[in-house]
Structure 1
Amino acid sequence: NLAEAAAEAIGANATLCRVCAYFHDVGKLVKPDYFTENMSFERNPHEDLAPTMSALIIIAHVKEGVDLALKHKLNQRIIDIIQEHHGTSLVYYFYKRAQQMHEDARAGGKIMKMRQDDIPEVREESFRYSGPKPQTKESAIVSLADAVESASRSLEKPTPAKIEQLVNDIIDQRISDHQLDECDLTLRDVRVIAERFRFTLMMMLHSRIAYPKQETKSPTPRDDSLRPDVMVTTRKPATAPPVSAA
């Protein structure tokens, strides 16, 4: 468990992180087919939706998770992490898709001589989770672990270098997006968490990791002239008794 291992490494509540790793995405049970891990190969339901609607469905799983947790009387600390684990982060894929569609619409509008004001702008806040940002070390760890684990599923032919780059990129992006500003993680904590994520992912993906091949030396040609006479040990000694004497 990524979150549990990282929490142990920095002295945070590892048990809470492990429990929240199970429950943080419970809201996806409401509309499971709209999330990548549950989609079939035949159909992606987002293909029939506008990016704004897709983002609404994705973002809603946090509130729906909190509602389920309250209904089943989960511990408040678990509920807090369910609510905080995406912070105010951006649903990047659908945001970029909306921007591309907007650019295409503007290009088409020029051809059709439409007014640019008639094409609605893409508002970034419409594609961000409502927060709050992680307030505790445990909440931040679960948030980072969720992002890293999700991204690791798309790694093709994972290598130690790719895993390290993935972990570093996600943590750097969360820091630059100010998602860790309200928790009490230190820079040392973040470094240790990154190291633990890399190690744990290496163990999780071990069977898939493409390690560099070790160079093998070509075998030294065998000199048959130096080969021992294998018959020496099987020859009868000169003084061996006749067979009939055995």
Structure 2
Amino acid sequence: FESLSQNWMFSISASSLSFGIPLAASAMTVCLFMKLNAAISFAIVISVCTALIFQNRFEIFLYFLMNCIMGAYWIQNCKERKVFIMAGVRLGMLNMILATAADVYTGDYSGAKLLWDWGFAFAGGLGAGIVAAGLAPLLEMAFDYTTDVTLHELANLDRPILRKLMMEAPGTYHHSVVIGSMVEAAASEIGANPLLAKVCGYYHDIGKVKKPVYFVENQSDGKNRHDKLAPSMSALILISHVKDGVEIGRQNKLGQVIIDTIQQHHGTSLIRFFYEKAKQLKGKDAVKIEDFRYPGPKPQTREAGLVMLADVVEAASRTLDNPTPSRIQGHVQKLINGIFADGQLDNCELTLRDLHNIAKSFNKILNGIHHHRIEYPEKPAAGAEKEGKKEKKKKKGEENKENKEKNGSVDQQPANQPKDTSGRNKEDVSGRLKRLGVS
């Protein structure tokens, strides 16, 4: 038994061990953070370096090159972390084929060596998937980066913070879901990141969960809490939802890119309603405009700029009395032009062409939300339906009675008299006799 085990251990060559190196994990991680093109370039470099370590062996270079490229390719559209394990299994099977090809190329494919090569090759592929799955969240935390995998997880509306928003601030929740749809569609039109934009739209107003009744979309009882407050206090409450949102975002580890959007989605815009109200109460000179502006900063990314535009446009569209397509289009264009003229989009690299395409995308979605519906006839109640049938029967009976009175009863009408056909019969008989020559 000892001699057998020694023979088996002795048969493990350096090339067999090399097949078990999970080198593809590095290329898979690069693909996750920097997309497929960067991963392919990285795969070429790392494969050349590995081949040099193993005495310039071409089969080792080709093995790891195919290994790394296919590993990155299989996780490029990864939405769940289990995809890493599935990619690892597929990579292990591919590695077994590549190891066999390498053995055939070198002419060294004895039975024992081939078995060891297959075992290490499959373990190397599966290990690459496991290593990449474990390495990704560590790198996200270390570099404060949010991958698409994390964004897909955050886009789940069953997340605890979104469920809390739905229960405690339902108007804000519905507004946020609509914003997510609007910015996702607009991001696709202008070449931004639709997934990131949608997630930022979902979470941009989570700060309102702390004081939901002070925001009009959550005031279902018809009472406006701001009626009893000074305009300056109302402005402070509105401004505070940004700070509260940043704190909640950090507590829930949403990622810096989403927290930045929460902080930037109002920029330094003016809370005009309460500013004008304060001027009416105190006079223009007694009111500081800075007290009624959000602290900023202005949007720094295209996705943050989209959230700012959609937030203003969607909220303002609810105030339209008769939201026809032409009125919606004019309203959207006016609001976007106002935000652009105020300088809120100076730092987010949105061009005039982008703004035009964004307006078209917003128009399409808002027209779908506010389209006119036909009025469906109400179904009568059971009692009303029976009464209607009785009235129909009664009316029909009255009509029959009137007809009888007009024409008389059947008994009073003269019977039909039989027609007198005797003369006609006589003429027929005489005509026949003449033809026969009798008369």
Q: Give the distance between the partners of 2:249 and 2:372, measured in 1 at CA.
A: 35
Please state how far the C-alpha of 1:203 moved relative to its aligned partner: 1.2
Q: Counterpart of 2:265? A: 85
Q: Which has the higher contact order (CA 8 A, sep 6+)?
A: 1
Quote the Cα distance in structure 1 between the aligned partners of 2:222 and 2:354.
Answer: 43
Match of 2:327 in 1: 162
- Residue number among 346, 351, 354 corresponding to 1:186 in the alignment: 351
Deviations 1:185-207 (A, max 9, x none): 11111111011111111112113
1:192 maps to a residue whose letter is N
> Partner residue of 1:172?
337
Select which of 290, 295, 305 maps to 1:140: 305
- Decide which of 187, 197, 209 is 1:17's aligned counterpart: 197
The alignment's TM-score, normalised by the length of structure 1, stands at: 0.76
Q: How far 1:99 sits from its partner (Å)? A: 0.9
**1:34 aligned onto 2:214:** yes
The Cα shift of 1:208 comes to 6.0
Q: Aligned AA for 1:145?
A: A
**Cα distance per residue 1:85-138 (max 9 Å; x no partner):** 0000001111111111124xx9xxxxxxxxxxxxx7111000000000000110
Q: How does 1:94-133 map to 2 (within 5 A)?
A: 94-103=274-283, 121-133=286-298
Deviation at 1:75, TM superposition (A): 1.3
SS of residue paired to 2:321: coil
Report SS of the residue matched to 2:286.
coil
Contact 1:98 1:122 in 2 (8 A): yes
- Secondary structure at 2:238 match in 1: helix
Partner of 1:219: none
Distance 1:208 1:53 in 2: 41
Among 240, 245, 261, the alignment partner of 1:65 is 245
Shift of 1:169: 1.1
Cα distance between partner residues in 1 of 2:223 and 2:373: 27
TM-score, normalized by length of structure 2? 0.43
Pairwise CA RMSD of aligned residues? 1.5
1:47 maps to 227
CA spacing shift, 1:208–1:81, aligned 2, 3 Å: farther
Would the aligned equivalents of 1:88 and 1:128 in 2 still touch at CA under 8 Å? yes
* Residues 157 and 208, structure 1, Cα contact 8 Å, conserved in 2: no
Task: Determine which structure has the larger helix proportion and give its number.
Answer: 2
The equivalent residue for 2:52 is: none
* Closer, same or farther: CA 179–100 of 1 in aligned 2, 3 Å: same
Secondary structure of residue in 1 paired with 2:242: helix
In the alignment, residue 4 of structure 1 is paired with which amino acid? E
1:150 is aligned to 2:315: yes
Rounded to whole Å, the distance in 2 between the matches of 1:176 and 1:121 is 26
In structure 2, what is the Cα distance between the partners aligned to 1:52 and 1:188?
38
Is contact 1:52-1:94 (8 Å) kept?
yes
CA contact (8 A) 1:160 1:202 kept: yes
**Where does the alignment leave 5 or more consecutive residues of structure 1 unmatched?**
107-119, 210-246
CA distance in 2, matches of 1:163, 1:98: 30
Deviation of residue 155 (structure 1)?
1.1
Q: Contact (CA 8 Å) 1:4, 1:14: kept in 2 or not?
A: yes
- Report if the CA contact (8 A) 1:158-1:208 is conserved: no
Q: In the aligned structure 2, how far is the partner of 1:170 from the partner of 1:142?
A: 14
Query: 4+ residue stretches of structure 1 with deviation over 3 A?
Result: none
- The one-letter amino acid paired with 1:90 is L
